Amino acid sequence: MCPIADAVERLARDSDRSERGAIFTRREVVDFMLDLAGYTADRPLYQMRLLEPSFGGGEFLLAVASRLVTAAKAAGAVEDLVDCIRAVELHRNTYLDTRSKIIGFLEQSGFAPKESHRIVDAWLLHGDFLLSEIQGPFDFVVAIHRMSVRN
């Protein structure tokens, strides 16, 4: 295996939280940043695209999904939200946990299980954002990403 693929695989599989800079953002900070960016439910978010390059526990993602679904429901435009979000997470278990949270949120919001899975399969990607091919353009890119550097 090449050294980069090897390092990515190790980070994805069994790195600890500090090694991956995995400190998740508090909800009030997330809401403040989304308001500041203009990602607000009074806008046609269902016609816009947002990228979260390192979604971790899904703090941004859940707030984003909530605002998107609110905007789409208000406009009667919930038919197809698959293009509205792209989000990436490197660590496999974190990816799986957050995936479950988003599916749970969509089902609570009235989406059928099959539709929730279809949407989440389009929204979420497991991998290294820096090595992933993600089709743009995006109207918003949101995340807080901290890196720890070791000597």
Interface residues with ligand SAM (CB under 6 A)? 20-25, 54-56, 59-60, 88-91, 94, 128-130, 143-146
CB 12, min distance to ligand SAM, A: 8
For 75, residues 6+ apart whose C-beta sits below 8 A from its C-beta are 44, 46
Which residue number, 50 or 111, has a Cβ lying nearer to ligand SAM? 50
Q: Which of 139, 135, 119, 109 is nearest to 39 (CA)?
A: 139
Question: What is the H or E stretch that residue 88 is in?
Answer: strand 85-89
Tell me the β-bridge partners of 141: 51
Task: Identify whether the C-beta of residue 24 lies closer than 8 Å to the C-beta of residue 59.
Answer: yes
Number of residues in the chain: 151
Give me the half-sphere count of Cα atoms (radius 13 Å) on the Cβ side of residue 54.
18
CB 94, min distance to ligand SAM, A: 5
Q: Which of 79, 99, 80, 78 is nearest to 88 (CA)?
A: 99
CB 132, min distance to ligand SAM, A: 8
Which residue number, 13 or 43, has a Cβ lying nearer to ligand SAM? 13
Whole-angstrom Cα distance, residue 4 to residue 58?
26
Which residue number, 105 or 129, has a Cβ lying nearer to ligand SAM? 129
Which residue number, 15 or 73, has a Cβ lying nearer to ligand SAM? 15
Which residue number, 111 or 123, has a Cβ lying nearer to ligand SAM? 123
Which position's Cβ is nearest ligand SAM? 56
CB 139, min distance to ligand SAM, A: 18
CB 148, min distance to ligand SAM, A: 10
